[in-house]
Amino acid sequence: MDIYKNFKFKEDETPKYVQVANYIKNLIDKRKIKEGDKLPTIRDLSKKLGVNNVTIVSAYNKLKLEGYAYQKVGSGSYAKRKEVASSLRKEYSNALKKISTEDLEKVIDFTGETTGEILFPIDDLKTIINEVLERDGAKALFSDNRNGYERLIATINKVFWNDKLKNEDVIIVSGAQQGIDIASKGILNINDNIIVEKPTYVGALSVFKWRKVNLFEVPIEEDGVNLDKFEKILQKNEIKCFYTMSYFQNPTGISYSLEKKKRILELAEIYDFYIIEDDYLSELIYESSLEYIPFKWLDKKDRVIYIKSFSKIFLPGIRLGYLIAPTIFRETLQNSKHNTDITTSSLMQRALESYISGEKWKNNIKNLNDEYIKRYNCMKDLLNKDFKDILVYKEPKGGLNFYITLRENFKINTTELFTRLKKRKVYITPGAMFFTVQDQGQDSFRISFYQTNEAKIKKGLTILKEELLLLKEPHK
């Protein structure tokens, strides 16, 4: 069927190219033109509509500018469905807001989004802050370097990187989310092409969609993305960067094998793209078979923008982290940071420096690992015992999450499961949150033990099983 045959120009002041663009947008929104469908060539559409080529070129440029189309070099223009804030995202956001107003003792938060429980030793924090104020006085409240507190940068380099970095390449940021935002603003333009894992972190998706880039998804396997599909995208498209979480990927919990990291770095050099590495919770490794070697350690060609957050391992609510910029992007990313918020809290940077240089962080990391491995094993044992006929998952061997997929005979919409559970004050994260298209991931969900002790894990999983069986029962 020719979907353009009913198009007629209106006799008003609206330019013809705008009318054409609006008509195509409407077709995309109604899914009469699907995501990834090739649009007619400029010559074919101009002939069909009886206008000159310039009109169609202008219409396609408008579509690209507004995020409804993207260009493949040497191939033409393709439809891109503009993401609209879904009812699920609104419902999920409102649910998180509601959690914060409730008695957290009565809530079972498997989303890991609240901060009702803080395992960091608060007395240590008080001591550190008092020592910093006593030592530095009023200076502690003022930043002397827009890229970050120089002693903190030097300490990060020494403790975590054996002084192998250039201090000027390190930028202190207000958590990983700001790091992703700064990297995105610094290197991505409208309609640039980037690759993301499928599924992937919802916060990164939000940043990239805001930048109006073209997202290419590659399915994630047991040891990282599918390399065959990854390289096919590289062969057909000019890719600017690849966003990855190398350890305990959010949401799947997958960690990359050394072989895949090395190959992706080789591909970055061959196809001239950069890697944004979001190093997520790599301190929380529970099994010795998993070795810590991030992309950045292997990066010989300066292809990796490395982002690290201390928010989960230092103190929730205090947003601190750092970004390592490739030399070619150093100034651009520094400017991106300065344009975002000028500087990050000087007092907390100094407190973090004292925390790391005094090696108190080592004891805290050990204590966190001791506690979280108990929760990890508790959740894993219950999933294996009580849910073996209902769901499957891959053991993450660390981190704070399990990513659950329902078995074929238990295909239940997990968005509906989320809605039912929240009425019983149990909160999960539906799988659809982690995909660019909202009708994907409906058979999966993520559960976190970051804010749930063993008693809450047992109670919450009991309620989860009850609701799964109730949802399944009508289909028997």
- In DSSP notation, 123-182 reads HHHHHHHHHHHHHHGGGGGS-S-TT--HHHHHHHHHHHHTT-S-GGGEEEESSHHHHHHH
Domain boundaries, position 54: 16-79
Let me know if residue 9 belongs to a domain.
no
pTM: 0.83
d(CA 267, CA 96): 40
Helix (H) / strand (E) containing 98: helix 87-101
CA distances from 177 to 173, 200, 227, 332 (A): 9, 14, 27, 18
- 297 and 141 in contact (C-beta within 8 Å)? no
Helix (H, G, I), strand (E, B) or coil at 357: helix
Q: Does one domain contain both 173 and 273?
A: yes
| pLDDT tens per residue, range 209-231 | 888 899 999 999 999 999 999 99
Termini Cα distance of the chain: 40
Q: Is the pLDDT of residue 94 over 90?
A: no
CA-nearest of 411, 416, 415, 377 to 392 is 411
Token pair 């009913």: residue: 6
Q: Does one domain contain both 197 and 295?
A: yes
Q: What is the largest CA-CA distance in the chain?
A: 77
Highest mean pLDDT among 5-19, 112-126, 185-199, 339-353: 185-199
**Tokens standing for residue 47:** 């002939």
d(CA 150, CA 287): 35
Residue 1: pLDDT band with limits 50, 70, 90: low
Last residue of a domain, one of 294, 324, 358: 358
Burial of residue 193, with CB atoms counted within 10 A of its CB: 0-12 exposed, 13-18 middle, 19 or more buried = buried
Helix (H, G, I), strand (E, B) or coil at 361: helix
Q: Does one domain contain both 347 and 300?
A: yes
| pLDDT tens per residue, range 430-459 | 998 998 765 688 899 999 999 999 999 999
Q: Is the pLDDT of residue 345 over 70?
A: yes
Q: Does one domain contain both 144 and 64?
A: no
Half-sphere exposure (CA, 13 Å, Cβ side) for 14? 14
Last residue of a domain, one of 328, 358, 388: 358
Q: Is the pLDDT of residue 390 over 70?
A: yes
Neighbouring CB atoms inside 10 A of 271's CB total 15
d(CA 374, CA 453): 9
Helix (H) / strand (E) containing 24: helix 16-29
- 305 and 276 in contact (C-beta within 8 Å)? yes
Let me know if residue 161 belongs to a domain.
yes
Q: Does one domain contain both 162 and 104?
A: no
Highest mean pLDDT among 28-42, 92-106, 439-453: 439-453
The number of folded domains in the chain is 3
Report CA torsion sign: 404, 405, 406, 407: negative
Q: Is the pLDDT of residue 61 over 60?
A: yes
Name the average pLDDT for the chain.
89
d(CA 189, CA 51): 30
CATH number reported for the structural domain that contains residue 57 in this entry: 1.10.10.10
* For the chain, the helix, strand and coil percentages under 3-state DSSP, each to the nearest 5: 50, 15, 35
Let me know if residue 1 belongs to a domain.
no
Q: Does one domain contain both 224 and 373?
A: no
Q: Does one domain contain both 332 and 424?
A: no
Let me know if residue 3 belongs to a domain.
no
